[in-house]
Amino acid sequence: MKNSLFYKVFGTYLIITLIAMVVIGFYATQQIQSKLLERIDTELTSFARMIQISPSQSKIISDIDTVSKISDSRITLIDARGVVLADSDGQVSDMDNHLNRPEIQEARVRGKGRSERFSDTLRINTLYIAVPIKEGPEIKGYVRLARPLTEVRHYVREINLLILESFIVVGILSFLIAFIFTSRLTSPIHEMERFTERLREGEDPGSLMINSSDETGRLARNINFMMMELKEKIQFAHEEKGKLESVLASMGDGILLLDTDDRIVAINDASKKIFTARFRDIVGKTLIEAFRNVDMQKALDHFKDTGTPVSREIILEEEDQMALDVTISPVRGLPEGKEKTVIVLHEVTRLKKLEKVRADFVANVTHEIKTPLTAILGFIETLEGGAIDDKKTAKKFLHTIHENAERLDRLVDDLLIISDAELGDMHFSFETVSLDGIIENALTVIEKKASEKRIVMEKTIPNDLPSIWGDRDRLHQIMVNVLDNAVKFTPDAGSISIKALDGKDGNVYIEISDTGIGIPKGEIPRLGERFYRVDKTRSRKLGGTGLGLSIVKHLITALGGKLVIQSQLGRGTTVSLIFPTYREDLTA
């Protein structure tokens, strides 16, 4: 309230008016009082001059009362020594010497004396006028006229009262005028204040309607013009922001925005998806604080030193390493002192892994094909060199060639199966399948190999095991591959158990456990990779292509199931095959 413009202007106007009235009243009173004193001075001087020309002091003394009444003043006759000779209003005997009175001394020197002071005789402020009485150049005495200033005080009081009444009227009128003037002056400003307040709160204030041709009207029109431009710029900024947010949200690459202090101020959704939970709370941190990666900080330092965009491949040191293509560049078009840096992160972890898998695949498949081909070509050359004439040797060589050709055929078949599975070209004939029959058929295929190694096969399958919805041939292929691996890697006189059970969770579980060589814990995650072998030399001696588990993994995934492997080195392996039980909605 104290800071209101209305009260400031209104109060200032009233104070100025009040000061003006006080000053005018003071000077008016002084002028009136001065004029009244001049008039009394003139009257008393005139009467004093008349008395001054009287022929003798005795004449003056005899007429003193009459002249006092006519002049409406007190008349005092004083000799040259200051002794009072006569007084119209007082006892001469009671009066002291008047020679040193100011008006007497002034009259002696200047020919007229004037003094205004409190009269001890009349007990009131009095104006004294004195003139000398001369005979030639010699002063014989003085005549002094005195008039009380009661009249002046009375007139001044009346004038002050009149001025006060006038000031009250003027004050009321000034108050009303000041109120109207201030209201009209501040009303447009209040309207502008409400307008800008609504604008500050985010509302649409519309247009500022002030019909005035003065500065406030022009200011209102300028504000409306600025408001229109501001709306257009805000709308444009929102559109650009929306476009930028859409672009950033749709980008697959991560974006980090750094301020002038190299702190991360914003990230896009792709960054949140790229980073693990360890790196998600990074806003407000520097790169070294967020990622603890020296290579990334060095890349930023290089960008700061050179001012040119920097591209680096960064490996985040985690348990599962994350490979990132990092590009650091400036944000263009920002004012000096507001520079920002943008970092684009393109995750290439999967690409790096795929490159490694591709390189491993090329190396493995080349080796897998090269080994039997070398044997075939070698034995053929030997046969062509004359060994064909030795029937026993030729038969042995042809048997080896046949085994290696079959190995190549199996390799090609397995590669075709994996290729079809990965490309989605594999065709399935779904039907209701009982796993009991699948397991029995697979055991029949594996039984000969198991018997040769004296491996005991144990089967535990409940009679009420639910059926599943799948492809009978592919299920047979899965079961044969898993059992074949179990037999291969189980030493002689070992054992293999096959258990099936209803998990009561909508799945059927088949567990195939062996007492084989087992698998190191760190190797288990790679068992589904193509051509991956834990013991490469032993696997090749046993005739494996290295694609068995990879085929199982692809087939069981396509059938909606899951493969889980648990193993301990030297204590055996358990392979769990999990299939969803048959439901009518699966056939829809």
**CA quadruple 344, 347, 351, 352: dihedral, nearest 10:** 100
Which strands form 495-502's sheet, in the order they lie side by side?
Answer: 456-460, 495-502, 507-514, 572-580, 562-568
- Which domains, ranges and CATH numbers included, belong to the chain? 7-156 (3.30.450.20), 252-347 (3.30.450.20), 353-421 (1.10.287.130), 428-587 (3.30.565.10)
pTM for this predicted structure: 0.41
Which structure tokens are listed for 483? 């059992």
* Predicted local distance difference test score (pLDDT) of residue 363: 63
For the beta carbon of residue 8, count every other beta carbon within 10 angstroms: 13
Distance from first CA to last CA of the chain, Å, rounded?
A: 77
* Predicted local distance difference test score (pLDDT) of residue 539: 46
* Predicted local distance difference test score (pLDDT) of residue 98: 83
Three-class secondary structure assignment of 134-146: EECCEEEEEEEEE
* Predicted local distance difference test score (pLDDT) of residue 1: 46
* Predicted local distance difference test score (pLDDT) of residue 388: 74
53-78 burial by CB neighbour count: b if 16+ within 10 A, else e?
ebeebeebeeebeebbeebebbbbbb
Residue 557 φ then ψ, to 5°:
-65, -45
| Angle (deg, nearest 10), helices 5-52 and 64-71 | 150
- Spatial neighbors of 523 by CB under 8 A, at least 6 apart, are 534
For the beta carbon of residue 270, count every other beta carbon within 10 angstroms: 20
Which residue ranges of the chain lie beneath pLDDT 50?
A: 1, 536-543, 588
529 contacts 547 by C-beta, under 8 angstroms: no
Compute the chain's Rg from CA coordinates.
62
